[in-house]
Amino acid sequence: MESPKFTTSLRCLCMLLLCAATLNPAFALKNCTFPAIFNFGDSNSDTGGLSASLITPKPPYGETYFHKPAGRFSDGRLIIDFMAKSLGLPYLSAYLDSLGTNFTHGANFATAASTIRLPINIIPRLGGFSPFYLDIQYSQFRQFKNRSQIIRQKGGAFANLMPKGDYFSKALYTFDIGQNDLGEGFFSNMTIEEVNASVPDIVNKFSTNVKNIYNLGARSFWIHNTGPIGCLPYILANFQSAQRDSYGCAKPYNDVAQYFNHKLKEAIVQLRKDLPLAAITHVDVYSVKYSLFSKPKEYGFELPLVACCGYGGIYNYGSGGCGETITINGSQIFVGSCERPSIRVNWDGIHYTEAANKFIFDQISTGLFSDPPTPLKMACHNI
């Protein structure tokens, strides 16, 4: 016979679960089973696209986890790597990488330096951006979907390296892009007001691509907003006269990022109306990333505004890029890593360390920074 104490505890637990389900419907739902991830974006989620096609990161990139360059512009893993791992999937192969790749559980169309809109300057021009902007990434995905199924139908050695046909409707579609559109404006001598004025068109182009991907069968979308660009050394070092906030970040540049995020959120509200079968989760990575600059010690980090791998000035950025050998006063210096990347936020002046990426993933995967407040593992549900 059950004791009164046990019965009371069981009732309390049931009440708590009922309240949780009422306050957040996601808690009443089952975990999703995503058989694949298809990712679109820039260097925040590039697992080897730019490396395979145009620019290969050199040591010490990749040193923390892979112990060698692994196509990522970080010392280790990215948020997308932690996402794949948490869903029980392998790390994503870059679509542009033709050697040793396996697309069974998805593909990564992101490349570092990618933009949403067609960039004005394209690599290899000085200060150029990736030619694989979002329209091209969509076109690549469209081809990939068709050609992968032709390969599967033919059979042979490559058939089992392609996703099954039904994976495309069941997959998670992830997006992290937009930072470089703002950066291109800043470094093209546009005023803050002019960059702001470009944001609606940038966001409209983003929405068009989401609709196109939806029309190819995508149903579950996980969309990151952009981070606090004004806290990154490459902005701080190049725009030293910009007003600083109380944490040392360049406030006008963060204001533009927040305006972009505001328009993106509005666009996602409209996308939910336009795409009724889609489950679209909007993820506020800005707030999580900004917390690393506003209270780094609370999370075990230090010197958040200073690049771990770089050379020059108070931000350790500008006189030599990570992995380069430079000449200073007649002596050659290798631009290497700081002593403890595990307690640093910024890796090379633009990108985050693996430790910071892990922290960000741990926060956003809970659903606490999402709209609707959906955990990653429940992002297939249209709440």
> What's the CA angle centered on 132, arms 83 and 79, to 5 degrees?
15
Rg (CA), the chain: 22
Query: How many Å apart are CA 81 and CA 93, to the nearest integer?
Result: 10
Active site residue 351: yes
User: Which class for 258: exposed (0-12), middle (13-18), buried (19 or more C-beta within 10 A)?
Assistant: middle
3-state secondary structure 262-325: HHHHHHHHHHHHHCCCCEEEEECHHHHHHHHHHCHHHHCCECCCCCCCCECCCCCCCCECCCCE
Residue showing tokens 């002046």: 349
Active-site pick, 43, 74, 148, 207? 43
The beta-strand segments (E) located in the chain are: 37-41, 106-108, 172-176, 220-224, 279-283, 325-328, 331-334, 370-371
Report DSSP state, residue 122.
B
Query: What residue type is assigned to position 117 of the chain?
Result: R
Residue 375 C-beta-side C-alpha neighbours within 13 Å: 15
Sign of the torsion angle spanned by Cα atoms 121, 194, 345, 41: negative
Annotation marks residue 381 as catalytic: no
**Within 10 A of 272 (CB to CB), how many other CB atoms are there?**
16
Judging by DSSP bridges, how do beta strands 37-41 and 106-108 pair with one another? parallel
Query: Which tokens is 230 given?
Result: 């004004």
- Out of 105, 224, 282, 351, pick the active-site residue: 351
Whether 246 is catalytic = no
**CA–CA separation, 100 and 26 (whole Å):** 38
Q: Classify the C-alpha dihedral 205-208-210-213 as positive or negative.
A: negative
Write down the catalytic residue from 75, 81, 284, 348: 348
Tell me how far apart the alpha carbons of residues 354 and 208 are, in angstroms, rounded to a whole number.
Answer: 32
| The residue count for the chain | 383
Q: Active-site residues: which are they? A: 43, 348, 351
